[in-house]
Amino acid sequence: MLAAAGVAHAQSAPTAGAEQNTPSGSAALPEPVDPNPGALSLSGGFDFLNRYMFRGIRQHSTGLAAWPWADVGIAAYSGESGLKSVGVNVGSWNSQHTGDTGMHGPSTKLWYESDFYATVGFGFGGGVSLGTTYTAYTSPNNTFSTVKEIMVKLAVDDSARLGKAAIKPYAIVARELDTAAGSGQADGGEKAGTYFEVGIAPGYTGSRASVAVPIKAGFSLSNYYELAGADHRFGFLSVAGVVTVPLGSTTKFGGWNVHGGVELQKLGDATASFNGGARSKLIGSIGIGFSY
């Protein structure tokens, strides 16, 4: 985060890192055959974007961003009672920039951001899940100070009950840790921030492709979007469209896909100021992903 310079940081991630930072929140396709039926799973991807916006805060003004990421999942428990499952995910999410915060900036280095995250998730009946994630957002080219965060996510997968009418609502609360004035904060502010996000992800999955329309809004519960000493509640509203196409059938090398999306973000007062006064931002992305 570079808020003071008009480029603050730092989480599509899903799941943690990738989901938080992914502009479109790529939808997963069902796999006809599982080549890896065990308790350990691996997923990853590589995406290219014209603009990296983290929770409404831009991360570069020129050039492109590339997002390589990888996630390891462990199915630690499954049961038939109230608690249906317990899972653990650890992973790394990265952003590489060609522009002003990367190889064409003061550091002249491509690797702008590297995040480590660990999640413990609990699954309950009715598609309800609750996860807690710790993330350390770091900058290998020293463009922003390390941001540490604890996030809690409550989600409902209502597709089994509602079918095509499912909206998959979720809510996120994230709290910044180990901060100082101007350091360790996404907005580069004076006080540690608490972030709140709500969203839905309606969509349709077919045999040849899936389409999702994720909608989300981000707010400051406390000091997350600080500007000129004031905390601004509204951060951004995002509406996106994502298409995911599988690359053939699932094989012993896992399932692969290509995906692309377009996202429109409408910004609040603080985030618009961080974005050079612009009230909206259009983001395009394309990438490849796999799961095994």
12 pLDDT exceeds 70? Answer: no
pLDDT value at 32 more than 50: no
Give the model's confidence band at 253: pLDDT under 50 very low, under 70 low, under 90 confident, else very high: confident
Q: Is 9 helix (H, G, I), strand (E, B) or coil?
A: coil
Can you give the pTM of this predicted structure?
0.89
Q: What is the pLDDT of residues 81-132, one digit of tens each?
A: 899 999 999 999 999 999 999 999 999 999 999 999 999 999 999 999 999 9
What's the whole-number mean pLDDT along residues 282-289? Answer: 98
Q: And the tokens for 140?
A: 């290998």
- Give the residue carrying structure tokens 């329309």: 213
Whole-number percent of the chain with pLDDT over 70: 88
The SS3 of residue 80 is coil
- Give, for 176, the enclosing helix (H) or strand (E): strand 170-177
Task: Tell me how far apart the alpha carbons of residues 14 and 69 are, in angstroms, rounded to a whole number.
Answer: 10
CA dist., res. 266 & res. 171, Å (int):
19
- For residue 48, what pLDDT band results from cuts at 50, 70 and 90? very high
pLDDT interval class at 5 (50, 70, 90): very low
Query: Over the stretch 139-193, which tens digit does the pLDDT of each residue have?
Result: 999 999 999 999 999 999 999 888 888 999 999 999 999 999 999 999 999 999 9
User: Which residues fall within 8 angstroms of residue 129, CB to CB, at 6 or more apart?
Assistant: 121, 122, 123, 153, 154, 155, 156, 157
- Confidence at residue 20, expressed as pLDDT on a 0 to 100 scale: 54
Residue 218 parent element (H or E): strand 215-222
Residue 24 is predicted with a pLDDT of 46
Give the angle 193-197-202 at the CA atoms, nearest 5°.
165
Mean pLDDT computed over every residue of the chain: 89
Is the distance from CB of 43 to CB of 17 less than 8 angstroms?
Answer: no
Which DSSP helix (H) or strand (E) runs through 273?
Answer: helix 269-274
Q: Is the pLDDT of residue 292 over 60?
A: yes
Sorted by where each starts, the structural domains of the chain and their CATH numbers stand as 3-291 (2.40.160.40)
Q: Which residues pair with 90 in a beta bridge?
A: 72, 118
Question: Angle at Cα 62 formed by Cα 275 and Cα 8, nearest 5°?
Answer: 40
Report phi then psi at 103, rounded to 5: -70, -20
Confidence of residue 25 (pLDDT cuts 50, 70, 90): very low
CA angle 131–270–261, rounded 5-degree value: 55
